[in-house]
Chain A
């Protein structure tokens, strides 16, 4: 437009030579193929489920996109409304719906633990360069953590581990744009660690009312190789 470039959304401008990148400061998660995301089942139809992944539209998970032997009309035996899953984004279909799949390592139904919401824009800082921030959190708390590119983070472990990991995420959410974040998170975690620190991996909480087969896959621990922070926006050590 007249040789000038305009940004259409509110964001931070980051040089990524030879391009300029606008990093959105706010807004819903916009799905990209290959993103690993955490979703909640909002509907179970005959051959697929619909997931709320925090995107503008719900994402269909087809029964063939799971490791289970699902018969038509029996989807609810495997996943019910309000269940949580970790899945990978596939391609956009012509109607704008993004399909997801549960086939792949580290994907599956989530059991136990809890989900914490973070702005999608903050996820690069949650992961850290080379996974360093996530590694710091899991090392100091002993929690199991799975990070969804859609701003959902699953945390499992002792109540204390979940509490401290959640608080670390809250710090990143609120102060993610400031310098020295890694130090602040680490010092929080160190200052709140108790002498009787539990090891990682407490047995997932079994929901008493579940009669569906629990085909849950243990989600990722520290240093997940599938999430490349460089592919989702800069995560510099310092701004």
Chain B
């Protein structure tokens, strides 16, 4: 990509309040969720969010491998988030990397708050997230996909878990950052909400915000999550209410 000089920084917000892709500050990118596209997994979901393409699959509850990881009183939730080599502009070498490991951990912890794991002691619920094409907000897209996949797998949960990244661009709080906004903006705040309780089960932040900006960002994120929540529910309804052959053929 080469080094970026001052004149290469894109205009993130016009005076009329339009973002680089024409959105307003509180608008989500186009989001399409498909439940159950995979045949082998117990549950699966495919999310297209802006230019992100993320696939999630759930296997379980099933026997734990390796056995020493099993827990006596509940299922262990294992999550693996991975980015395909071709999912980013500069090819990513296959294999574990620290960023993916961290994201895997925070996503697994988010689900541990909502899954009724005590119903399945000594088993494992395995969540796999593959980012096929990335454009900022992949951990949120992955979480949304995994949440739908868990429901598709029939795993009992308190609620679905919508997630979105809020940020700050040109001094303004903005919902659902895309790549350029994430790269050149002033803050990035991914969050995940349990609508039923109104509580956040994933929260990270990077950048700089005043407490007031942070407060507004949280509110905006909750609004965004609620809109995403409706789409997640609709994706599951679509899966089971239409002819399964037609739904699966998409």
Does chain A touch chain B in the assembled complex, meaning CB atoms less than 8 Å apart?
yes
Given contacts A27-B42, A27-B154, A95-B121, contact A56 B62 (CB under 8 A): yes
Does A179 have its Cβ within 8 Å of any Cβ on chain B?
A: no
Bound-state Cα–Cα, A175 to B246, Å: 12
Task: Tell me which of B60, B155, B157 has the highest count of chain A C-beta atoms within 10 A of its own C-beta.
Answer: B155
A residues contacting B by CB (< 8 A) are: 6, 8-10, 24-28, 56-58, 95-97, 174-175, 177
Contact B196 A25 (CB under 8 A): no
Contact B63 A10 (CB under 8 A): no
- The one of B61, B157, B244 in contact with A8, judged by C-beta atoms closer than 8 angstroms, is B157
Bound-state Cα–Cα, A11 to B240, Å: 9
Contact B123 A26 (CB under 8 A): no
Does B151 have its Cβ within 8 Å of any Cβ on chain A?
A: yes
> Which residues on B sit within 8 Å (CB–CB) of A96?
120-123
Bound-state Cα–Cα, A95 to B70, Å: 11
Secondary structure call for the A interface: loop
Bound-state Cα–Cα, A6 to B158, Å: 8
Which residue of chain A is the closest to B123 with respect to CB atoms?
Answer: A56
Which residue of chain A is the closest to B62 with respect to CB atoms?
Answer: A56
Contact A56 B61 (CB under 8 A): yes
Across the A-B interface, the 4 shortest Cβ-Cβ residue pairs = A27-B154, A56-B61, A8-B156, A26-B154
- B12, chain A: closest CB distance, angstroms: 39
Does B201 have its Cβ within 8 Å of any Cβ on chain A?
A: no
- The one of B43, B123, B243 in contact with A57, judged by C-beta atoms closer than 8 angstroms, is B123
> Which residues on A sit within 8 Å (CB–CB) of B245?
174
Given contacts A6-B196, A26-B43, contact A95 B122 (CB under 8 A): yes
- B116, chain A: closest CB distance, angstroms: 6
- B146, chain A: closest CB distance, angstroms: 15
Task: Tell me which of A27, A95, A174 has the highest count of chain B C-beta atoms within 10 A of its own C-beta.
Answer: A27
- The one of B61, B152, B243 in contact with A26, judged by C-beta atoms closer than 8 angstroms, is B152
Contact A24 B154 (CB under 8 A): yes
Contact B120 A9 (CB under 8 A): no
30 contacts between A and B (CB under 8 A): A6-B196, A8-B156, A8-B157, A9-B151, A9-B154, A9-B157, A10-B152, A24-B154, A26-B42, A26-B152, A26-B153, A27-B153, A27-B155, A28-B42, A28-B60, A28-B61, A28-B62, A28-B154, A56-B62, A57-B61, A57-B62, A57-B63, A57-B122, A57-B123, A95-B122, A96-B120, A97-B122, A174-B243, A174-B245, A175-B243
